[in-house]
Structure 1
Amino acid sequence: MKKIIFCLLTFMVLSCSKTIEPSLGLYPVYFEVNLNTEWRLQASQASKIFTEKNTNQHDARFGLGGILVYNGFSNNGGSQNVYYAFDAACPYEASSNVTVEVQDGVFAVCPKCGSKYDISNGVGNPMEGPATKVLQHYRVDQTDKTLLIRNY
């Protein structure tokens, strides 16, 4: 009986100590978005992918495929818009050369494998295609008209 209890306790401790691994690995992310200059992002369901090529922030880090910023809906059912950030790289392809494209205002679709992700609530769940992992999402802190996006 003691062996069974010991085994159950060991199993519980080990299963609780697992950490959720990022879907793309650990790539540095640090980027600021000025909503006064990126005013289009203030509209509901607006999105933009930021990369080294289309920005001029010298200390910025863009993950694997760039940063997809999305103005979506609150998870608590409120009508207030909330900003979400994802890595633009498709987790199934896991390449900086294959980035998702936003379609119908609420989906990100991989042009190579066809995986379709729901980005409206900030989770990035795969809806169709071969992908089984969510889009890598990043922390977004908003102060007034500035978004700070990071993964630490």
Structure 2
Amino acid sequence: MTKRILICLLTFMVLSCTKIEESSIPFANVFLKLDLAFQDKELLTLFSYKEYTKPRYAGEMTGFSGVLVVHGNDNYYAYDLCCPYEAEQSTKIVSTNAGIAKCPKCGTEYDISYGAGNPMKGPSKFALRRYNVYMNGQELIVRN
């Protein structure tokens, strides 16, 4: 019985000391109101995307490197444009085709069509930073 307790304690100590890697992208506020009826209507097309790198209106905030909004398979998704592997504000992912974004510096490709933003190919182990997207009539609200 004491062997089991000792083994459990040792296992707990080893696991609790293991450092979990996290992306070093700094937190930045995001708030966008997108008008699907007029100004942002190109997002109505399936697999369309649009980048927002600067606020267009007072009160808008575009995250650390900007926001990529994607009309995916079953919903709208939003990601920070910063590559989590590079974690530099100036290194922005680029959408290459339907459902894939790529970092021009490290070459990591990310799946952006289903909302996870997971790396598919390349050195990154981190998913893209994802933001919440809410539908409100003809508006999309993107925020964190």
- Could you say which TM-score interval applies, normalised by the shorter chain? 0.7 to 0.9
Give the match for residue 77 of structure 1.
none
Gap change, CA 1:3 and 1:145, over 3 Å in 2: farther
CA RMSD for the aligned pairs? 2.5
Corresponding residue SS for 1:142: strand
Residue 62 and residue 129 in structure 1: after superposition, are their counterparts in 2 closer, same or farther (change >3 A)? same
* Unaligned stretches of 5+ residues in structure 1: 74-80
The one of 87, 104, 121 aligned to 1:94: 87
Matched pairs, number: 139
1:56 — aligned with what?
Answer: 56
Residues 7 and 121 (structure 1), Cα distance of their counterparts in 2 relative to 1, 3 Å cut: same
Structure 2 residues not aligned, in runs of 5+: none
**CA deviation after TM superposition for structure 1 residue 24, in Å:** 2.1
**Is contact 1:64–1:95 with CA below 8 Å preserved after alignment?**
no
**Between Structure 1 and Structure 2, whose CA radius of gyration is higher?**
2
What does residue 67 of structure 1 align with?
A: 67
**Does the 8 Å contact 1:50/1:66 carry over to 2?**
yes
Q: Does the 8 Å CA contact 2:64/2:82 hold for their aligned counterparts? A: yes
TM normalised by structure 2 equals 0.83
Identity of aligned residues (%): 38
1:41 matched residue in structure 2? 43
Q: Give the Cα–Cα distance (whole angstroms) in 1 for the partners of residues 93 and 50 of structure 2.
A: 11
| TM-score, normalised by the number of residues in structure 1 | 0.79
